[in-house]
């Protein structure tokens, strides 16, 4: 689906270094993984039990075989060292999507540097670019209803977020939705959360569930 393509495009660009990659890239952090930090990273990410009731299904990994949105490039983290990492599982429920990932760095200085470099990206611009890229050639029309940071009290010492509300019109229907991105850092830990909520006739993700998931991830950065 188009939203899935957009999610992959954005994730491949914006969260490089915050989760495991299928193929090592020159810009990826150095890997010196240890069992304790691996377990911490796994514990941070979203798990099936966090999502509550509904037909939540595991999304298969798509690897890194998607192109970054135009004008959005991966930051160079190659001078930094990761000691723990956890890629998604991603989860979907009748059209909507939740993805998460976490990385533990060797030092707080490395984690803060990673956060700052990733956070320089314009999340909303990249999300919109990714969505347009995913829609290209489909015949559907995209209308951006709003775009900006998410209104919430910062849940971690380092925090950035973005949300795009949109409407997609095609021959059969017009569907509204939102795409939200959260990026957190505390101490040696960084994490991301990506939510794509697609409106009826699909099954949207409630604002309360999205907020709860963001607070869960942020809270798990603490040890």
The predicted-structure confidence for 74-108, as pLDDT tens digits, reads as follows 789 999 999 999 986 889 888 888 989 999 999 99
- pLDDT at 33 (0 to 100): 96
- Please answer whether residues 216 and 50 qualify as being in contact, where contact means their C-beta atoms are separated by less than 8 angstroms: yes
What is the pTM assigned to this prediction? Answer: 0.86
Residue range 146-162: mean pLDDT, rounded: 94
109-144 tens-digit pLDDT: 999 999 999 888 778 887 788 777 777 777 778 899
- pLDDT at 95 (0 to 100): 80
Which of 155-169 are b and which e, b meaning 16 or more Cβ less than 10 Å from the residue's Cβ? Answer: bbebbbbbbbbbebe
* Residue 155 reports pLDDT greater than 80: yes
Nearest residue to 88 via CA among 100, 104, 102, 103: 100
Least confident of 102-116, 165-179, 181-195: 165-179
Pick 223 or 61 by higher pLDDT: 223
Choose from 19-28, 133-142, 212-221 the range with maximum mean pLDDT: 212-221
Tell me the backbone φ, ψ of residue 103, rounded to 5 degrees: -140, 140
- pLDDT at 65 (0 to 100): 47
Relative to beta strand 30-31, strand 81-86 is: parallel
Residue 43: C-alpha distances to residues 38, 85, 111, 135 (Å): 9, 10, 17, 35
DSSP for residue 82: E
């Amino acid at each position: 689906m188009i939203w899935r393509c957009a999610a992959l495009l954005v994730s491949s660009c914006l969260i490089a270094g915050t989760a495991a990659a299928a193929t090592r890239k020159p810009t990826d952090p150095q890997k010196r993984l240890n069992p304790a930090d691996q377990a911490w990273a796994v514990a941070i990410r979203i798990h099936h039990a966090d999502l509550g009731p509904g037909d939540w299904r595991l999304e298969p990994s798509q690897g890194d075989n998607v192109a970054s949105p135009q004008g959005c490039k991966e930051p160079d983290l190659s001078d930094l060292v990761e000691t723990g990492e956890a890629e998604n599982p991603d989860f979907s429920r009748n059209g909507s999507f939740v993805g998460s990932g976490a990385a533990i760095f060797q030092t707080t200085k490395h984690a803060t540097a990673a956060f700052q470099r990733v956070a320089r990206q314009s999340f909303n611009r990249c999300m919109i670019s990714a969505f347009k890229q995913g829609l290209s050639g489909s015949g559907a029309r995209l209308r951006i209803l709003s775009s900006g940071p998410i209104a919430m009290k910062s849940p971690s010492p380092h925090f950035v977020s973005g949300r795009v509300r949109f409407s997609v019109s095609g021959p059969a229907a017009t569907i509204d939705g939102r795409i939200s991105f959260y990026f957190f850092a505390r101490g040696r830990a960084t994490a991301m959360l990506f939510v794509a909520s697609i409106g009826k006739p699909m099954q949207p993700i409630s604002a309360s569930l999205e907020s709860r998931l963001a607070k869960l991830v942020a809270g798990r950065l603490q040890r």
